Chain A
Amino acid sequence: MMDLRAIVVKILPLGGDCWLARINCPQISSAFLPGQFVMVKAWPGNDPLLRRPLGILKAEADDIFLYFQVIGRGTALLAALQPGREILLLGPLGRPFPRPTAGTTLLIAGGRGIVPLLAAARAWAESLPLVFLYGARRSIDLHLAAELEALPLSGLQFYSEDGGRGRAGLVSCGLEEVLAAQTPQTTFSCGPEAMLNALAGILSGQPGRHYFSLEALMGCGFGACYGCAAPVPGGYYARVCVDGPVFALEELQWPI
């Protein structure tokens, strides 16, 4: 974990309240692992008080890329920043995805849940057979489809509820289709809670290792405040920031 000053290279609107930020930060671009995140402070003073947790989408040279949706004031302030402005980054944070060893790996992304999975696909696509399912509510919200098409994936399928691109429907239906044809050794999923709950229901009877990356409101991002709680078996809670954000299926109490 480092607390660093970083420079905004550019921030582009992608539509649907989603933005792509390119941030110059060599220390993090060279150190992060797929599944990790940063805590971002993109404004002076103490209002908003808390930094915002954002997953790292990818790194290119000395820059990292953040794909984020404007939800409240913090993300709106980030989206409004001009190139050259300084922001604060705390990171890289969190337990990354474990690198799969053999067999087919299935990656399932819903909406902004694409972030850690694109990072994983970029890291592993050259050396491992990867099948990627990418879904969004509207087809025009599949903002990172071209990034995936540029990778040497063994399989790639898009899903949207309007069916404007790829299949109509949810990625959870796509998972059932994949499972009917093959048995992936490892799966990695990230997306809205309802999606993860549905996927966990399907995957709980399946062989293989299944991992989920969770999103949470966070106070600190590094384990100090116990504010981001995910239910674990036995009635206790794990900290999403340091015990996760990546959890194995059996580490969580479902539904989350």
Chain B
Amino acid sequence: MADLSVDLGFQVLRSPLMTASGTFGQAEEFRPVLDLDLLGAIVFKGIYLEARPGNPPPRLHETAAGLLNSVGLAGPGADAMAARIRKLAELTTTPLVVNVCGGDDPEFVSVAEVFEALPEAAMLELNISCPNVHLGGRCAAQDARHTGRLVKLVRRRVSKPLLVKLSPNVPDIAPIARAAESAGADALTVANTFLGLAVDLEKRRPVFRRFYAGLSGPAIKPLALRLVYQAVQSVKIPVIGCGGISSGRDLLEFIMVGAAAVQIGTVNLVEPGAAARILNEAAVLMDRLGIDNLNGLRGTLQN
């Protein structure tokens, strides 16, 4: 049986599958159909200091093999999230990752400090790329200088492993990836959702109140695969692939272009036991390819 463990350098993961932020509820919801210990890490939904209601409905719109969402980081605030994480840590040995948000740079730092102090939080993922908070989908990860400045601010206060989740809505991800790396990121998550627009033809209006929304699901997989490849070429720190992964084959394709590990998101919603299936499929494929661990596959894409 193939070995699917991953060594990120700062953390060993039991499997290459992490959950993508905002797609895994409080994780408990999945326990009836999934052994949480199969996962490499569980990433929580993005969190601010204070509770936030999120966006008014509609929040979802289905597209061809994809899903547009404008949920908008609804959440209970940092202290309530810390309590949830403590509770989940009693139920699983899988490392728990806090997705850190902020309305401005100081809030990112304050939220990060809360979870730096929480022993049950193994890693932090800095969410500088949510498209559903600022109007027009703007975010820090669209600007290399802002990315560098923000990552540096948080890095100064955080000794835990720091992942930085980048935006796909940029002309060139390389300078942003390098800015995060040189500001002290331990790894990059590539990437968040793609900005999309849904139109209600009869009403002559956008479907979403905030106009744009974030596209995820199988529809974006080739776009994410390209971004991961480009990010891997431009930095030395691990890149965690994220975007439309829904099979063992998808997982291995991301590893082959150089991803250290991956996150699965939308597939969790339509198939809550997907992680177990994807790991089985990957193991079978690796046996067929004659590879006994992921290092034998990582970054081996031939030109």
List residues of A whose CB falls within 8 A of some B CB: 1-3, 41, 46-51, 90, 216-220, 222-231, 235-237, 242
Contact = CB atoms under 8 A, between A and B. Distances in A.
B15 to A, nearest CB: 19
Given A49-B65, A222-B25, A217 B272 contact: no
B272 A90 contact: yes
A237 B60 contact: no
Contact of B53 (A1, A216, A235): A235
Interface centre among B22, B59, B66 (most CB of A within 10 A): B59
Contact of A220 (B32, B65, B270, B273): B270
B29 A229 contact: no
Contact of B66 (A2, A3, A49): A49
B177 to A, nearest CB: 28
21 contacts: A2-B32, A3-B272, A47-B64, A49-B67, A49-B218, A50-B62, A51-B270, A90-B272, A219-B67, A219-B269, A220-B270, A222-B272, A223-B29, A224-B268, A225-B23, A225-B25, A227-B59, A228-B60, A229-B54, A236-B51, A237-B56
A226 B272 contact: no
Given A46-B270, A230-B57, 9 more contacts: A1-B29, A2-B32, A3-B33, A49-B218, A222-B25, A226-B54, A226-B71, A227-B60, A229-B54
A255 to B, nearest CB: 13
Contacts of A217: 58, 60
Interface of B: 22-26, 29-30, 32-33, 45, 51, 53-60, 62-67, 69, 71, 74, 217-218, 246, 266, 268-273
A50 B64 contact: no
Given A47-B65, A237-B53, A237-B74, A226 B59 contact: yes
Given A46-B246, A49-B65, A3 B71 contact: no
Interface residues of B, dominant DSSP: loop
Given A90-B272, A226-B71, A49 B62 contact: yes
Nearest to A221: B269
Interface residues of A, dominant DSSP: loop
A225 B29 contact: no
Nearest to B33: A3
Given A46-B217, A50-B62, A225 B272 contact: no
A23 B16 CA distance: 37
A47 B266 CA distance: 13
Contacts of A242: 29
Contacts of A51: 270
Contact of B23 (A224, A229, A236, A237): A224
B92 to A, nearest CB: 16
Nearest to B52: A236
B33 A2 contact: yes
A219 B269 CA distance: 6
A41 B270 contact: yes
Contacts of B270: 41, 46, 49-51, 220
A53 B270 CA distance: 11
A11 B271 CA distance: 24
A92 to B, nearest CB: 11
Interface centre among B32, B62, B65, B69 (most CB of A within 10 A): B62
Contacts of A2: 32-33
A225 B71 contact: yes
Contacts of A226: 22, 45, 54, 59, 71, 74
